[in-house]
Amino acid sequence: MARPANLSNAVYDKMKEAVDSGEFPEGLKLPTENALCERYSVSRPVVRGAMERLRREGYIKTVRGSGSFVIKEHVTPTPFAPALGEFAISGIGDVIQCQEARMVFEGEMAALAAERWTNKEMEEMDAALAQIHAAGLDSVSTVDGDMRFHTAVIQGAKNDYASALFELMKPQILVGMNMSKGLYPLLPEFAHRHGIEEHKAILDAIRARDPEGARREMRNHIGFFGDQFK
C-alpha cells in the first residue's frame, strides 16, 4: 500500500503537469477537493498535501471563500532539500545521511544541555538511562529508553526550535535506532558500548557542565556507522 506522502507527491506531479501543459491554464479556478479526489482516486488528505505543495511553490493561490486558482509565479524548489515531514528513508544511504545530520544537530544540543540543564532535565536523563539498563539490550523497549534519553537531552538544551525540529525528525531517527538495535545480538561488545557506555559518557559530560565533552560524546555515539566494527 502506498504511503500518503507518496500519493500526495504523485497527485502533485499530475496537477503540476496539468498546469505546465495548459490543461489547467492561468486563472483557472481548480475543481473542489471532492472533485479532485474523484479525479485522482485518492483521499482528501492526499489532495490537500499535493495542493499545499503547489501553493508553497507558487503554482496555485487559495482565496478564502472563493477557492484555489492557477497562477504563474512558481518558484523552482531546491532539489536537494525535501520537506522533512515528507522525507521517507528508502535505504542505508538515507539512514547514514540522517545520522550525519544528527551528529551536528544533537552534538550542539548536548553542548547547550551541558550549560543549561536543571534538575528536572537531569532527573529525566537519569530515568531514561535507568530504563535502558532495566530493559536489557535484547529488549524492544531499549529503543523507547534510547529515544527518551535523546529527547531529554534536547529538552535540556532549552531551545523551542530545536525541540520542534527533533519532533519532526523522530520517525527517521527511529529507523536508525532500530537498525543499531538489530546489530546487538550479533555484536555484544558493540551493544554494550553503544547501548550503555556511550549514553553514560554523554550523561556524565552533561552532568559535569562540560559542553565540549558532551558535544564530542554525542557525536561519537551517533556516528556509530563509522566505527561499529572496530
The helix/strand/coil state of 19 is helix
Q: What is the pLDDT of residue 67?
A: 86
Q: What is the pLDDT along the chain (230 residues), one digit of tens a residue?
A: 445 567 888 999 999 999 888 888 988 899 999 999 999 999 988 999 899 999 888 889 888 888 899 987 655 555 555 555 556 666 778 888 888 999 999 999 999 999 999 999 999 999 999 998 886 766 555 788 899 999 999 999 999 999 999 988 888 888 888 887 777 777 778 777 887 899 999 999 999 999 999 999 999 999 854 443 33
Provide the 10 A C-beta neighbour count for residue 169.
19
Residue-wise pLDDT for 91-143, tens only, equals 778 888 888 999 999 999 999 999 999 999 999 999 999 998 886 766 555 78
Give the Cα separation of 18 and 28 in Å (integer): 11
Q: What is the pLDDT of residue 226?
A: 44
Q: What is the pLDDT of residue 104?
A: 95
Q: Would you say 196 and 181 are in contact if contact means Cβ atoms under 8 Å apart?
A: no
Residue 227: φ, ψ to 5°: -135, 15
User: Taking the alpha carbons of 126, 131, 133, 134 in that order, is the dihedral positive or negative?
Assistant: positive
